[in-house]
Structure 1
Amino acid sequence: MTAHLSTSRPPLPPFDHDSALIKVRAAEDGWNGRDPAKVALAYTADSRWRNRDEFLHGRQEIEAFLQRKWQREHDYRLIKELWAYTGNRIAVRFAYEWHDDAGQWYRSYGNENWEFDAQGLMAVRHASINDLAISESARLFHWPQGRRPDEHAGLTQLGL
């Protein structure tokens, strides 16, 4: 059974097109902020994740995972795009760019399936991700660290 917080995380399910877009952008903004503790609050206390080959349970594991992730993925910038929605579920596709300690740049592509509780917290997240080594000159995500500017192209406009 999902543990609930006393506060909600709008927009709440059931989602329509506009509310799903808002939810996707809020998730993108949170991840681009790279604050593991803050990002973890968007998930239920007992949220279940599959991220690549890792299976996580609960905010504490999510926060620890994100700390490890952003310690090794430098200059991280992410774009998410709504793929589909229904009821309390949203599917997104995404790409993010980052480099490792040696300076090798990557573009990571993936898909996520999300399920939300009645308070709008994510209870389930399944992520499938592939990494592609790229040259620094092939990078497409050049905004300053943090939130993607509204005028910056999305995945479809970038041909991704």
Structure 2
Amino acid sequence: MSDKYPRIKAVEACGETRLKVDFGRDGVREVDLSEFATGKKAVLRDEAAFAAVRVGEYGASVEWPGIGLEVGGDALWRMSERQFGNAMRPEDFKAWRKRLGLTQAATAKELGITRRAVIYYEQGARIIPKVVMLACKALEMERERQRAA
């Protein structure tokens, strides 16, 4: 999985806090923004305001010009990857690491990645790909099996 995010070709509101986003050759996805629409961004829960969504400049974002809000295409892509089960959430990755009692360096060694990648994953700077998510689950299951033996 690349960290180069696809451009947005089209967008439309299709529910309370759901967008149908056309990522061009990477497909059309529904993205739920309910976790995003909190605090000052709770204005997005207003149906009329939410329906005014449009593609931002160069397809790099979606925006609601009437209320001055914008969500980057990279954030939407990461949300869609997590919601489709293709990626792990940063907070879940960090909780997994702590549950296993691993340092960032030990996590890197266990997963066969760099410590820098672990840091990026925990900060949400990079998508945690499905293969890493599955490796985390497998390592945890292996540890549980060893404890039970």
Q: TM-score, normalised by structure 1?
A: 0.25
As a proportion of its length, which structure holds more helix?
2
As a proportion of its length, which structure holds more strand?
1
Structure with more relative contact order (C-alpha pairs < 8 Å, separation 6 or more): 1
